[in-house]
């Protein structure tokens, strides 16, 4: 289910296609997304930088293009509630929210369903998934044509303003993504409201396009929760974060291996003592940080499943996506 998918050919993105929102443009945009390429598209809130949410390599490309220093979990966009229910477990509260505000600028965070296809990287390794049915008919048409959930943060470089037009997107990302679909200006201009429905009371994780008043009309009182899924973890004990923190202790910058350790490597170098490891994996033999990001959570999970007490992690460069990879590994090492 969760698979690495094809490694997208990013050299092909040297020129970003400007697609119109006619049938031809939408068909090509959907095809590029299915091929694992990055396509920015309009929603009613802001332009999103889309990637096939089931393809970890494609999702890693989002972090690379945005130069995001952390792997935060991304919203998976779907065309309707039925598609959302394939990916997440909806309790009564989540259903009420979806019925009241979808399609529209609301995102619900719900437990990921067993049969869900949104990859680990898009969920940042969490057991929950953020889902949204956008209000823009154009966006829903695109999502229906893709036929898979599409992960999409705002289509800007990290630390810059969210784009509300195709021109804004190109100002930040021209030459870094395959295409942008021009659908005019985004009417809401502000990201979606994010509400966690993880059992217990719903929590407002991020204010946005759906106002608190509107939420309260459906939910009664709304409790605020932190806009950080790691901090938010206690909201749903047992649900979150199993591989922000593997069961095994994580030892970083390992240049040699102790007997019985499981080992996570990057690049061609092989540390001393590797033959004493219970298991080892290489995130990318060729030293490709995008490939490494795509496989990181899955590799940690497999190494943890060996039952080793320690996962020793070799050095990983801090350039490009390496910063986010190291950030996640430090969190994993610091946990408990
Ligand atoms: O309006 C929007 O929501 C835009 C358009 C493109 O749809 N998208 C967007 O995505 O703003 P992004 O990735 O920038 O925002 C994701 C938000 C973050 O606040 C993140 O922490 C939260 O959703 N989030 C995602 N998954 C989560 C999870 N499993 N638990 C808690 N928070 C989560
Ligand atoms: Mg943003």
Question: In the prediction, which pLDDT does 11 show?
Answer: 56
Residue 278, number of CB atoms within 10 A of its CB: 16
Report the pLDDT value the prediction gives residue 23, as an integer from 0 to 100.
96
> What pLDDT was estimated at residue 336?
57
DSSP string for 157-212: -TTSPPPSSHHHHHHHHTTTSSEEEE----SS-SPPEEEE-SSSS-EEEE--SS-H
* C-alpha 73 to ligand 1 mean position (Å): 7
For 105, which DSSP code?
S
Q: How far is the CA of 74 from the centre of ligand 1 (A)?
A: 5
Residue pair 155/68 in contact (Cβ under 8 Å)? The answer is no
User: Which residue puts its alpha carbon closest to atom 9 of ligand 1?
Assistant: 153
pLDDT tens column, 120-129: 999 998 999 9
Check if 2 has its Cβ closer than 6 Å to any atom of ligand 1. Answer: no
Q: Is the dihedral of CA 148, 129, 91, 219 positive or negative?
A: negative
What is the tens place of the pLDDT at every residue in 121-168?
A: 999 989 999 999 999 999 999 999 999 999 999 999 987 888 989 999
Distance 263 CA to ligand 2 centre (A): 34
pLDDT given for residue 9 in this prediction = 55
Q: Which residue ranges of the chain lie beneath pLDDT 50?
A: 1-4, 230-243
At 234 the pLDDT is: 39
| Whether the CB of 151 sits within 6 Å of ligand 1 | no
User: What is the structure's pLDDT at 278?
Assistant: 98
């Amino acid at each position: 289910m969760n698979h690495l998918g094809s490694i997208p050919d990013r050299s092909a993105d040297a020129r970003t296609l400007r697609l119109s929102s006619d049938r031809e443009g939408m068909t090509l945009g959907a095809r590029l997304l299915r091929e694992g390429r990055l396509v920015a598209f309009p929603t009613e809130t802001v332009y999103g930088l889309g990637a096939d949410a089931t393809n970890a390599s494609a999702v890693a490309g989002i972090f690379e293009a945005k130069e995001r220093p952390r792997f935060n979990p991304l919203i998976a966009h779907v065309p309707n509630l039925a598609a959302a229910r394939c990916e997440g477990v909806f309790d009564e509260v989540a259903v009420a929210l979806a019925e009241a505000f979808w399609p529209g600028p609301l995102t619900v965070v719900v437990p990921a369903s067993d049969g869900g296809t949104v990859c680990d990287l898009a969920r940042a390794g969490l057991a929950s998934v953020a889902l949204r049915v956008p209000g823009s008919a154009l966006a829903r048409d695109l999502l229906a044509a893709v036929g898979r959930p599409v992960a999409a943060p705002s289509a800007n470089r990290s630390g810059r303003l969210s784009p509300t037009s195709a021109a804004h997107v190109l100002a930040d990302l021209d030459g870094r993504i395959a295409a942008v679909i021009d659908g005019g200006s985004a009417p809401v201009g502000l990201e979606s409201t994010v509400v966690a429905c993880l059992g217990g009371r719903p929590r407002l994780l991020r204010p946005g396009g759906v106002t608190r008043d509107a939420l309260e009309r459906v939910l009664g009182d709304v409790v605020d929760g932190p806009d950080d899924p790691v901090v938010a973890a206690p909201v749903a004990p047992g649900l979150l974060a199993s591989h922000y923190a593997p069961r095994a202790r994580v030892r970083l910058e390992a240049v040699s291996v102790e007997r019985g350790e499981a080992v996570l490597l990057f690049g061609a170098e092989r540390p001393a003592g590797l033959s004493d490891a219970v298991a080892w994996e290489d995130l990318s033999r060729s030293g490709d940080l995008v490939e490494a990001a795509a496989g990181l959570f899955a590799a940690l999970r497999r190494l943890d499943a060996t039952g080793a007490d320690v996962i020793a992690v070799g050095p990983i460069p801090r350039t490009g996506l390496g910063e986010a990879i190291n950030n996640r590994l430090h969190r994993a090492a610091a946990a408990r």
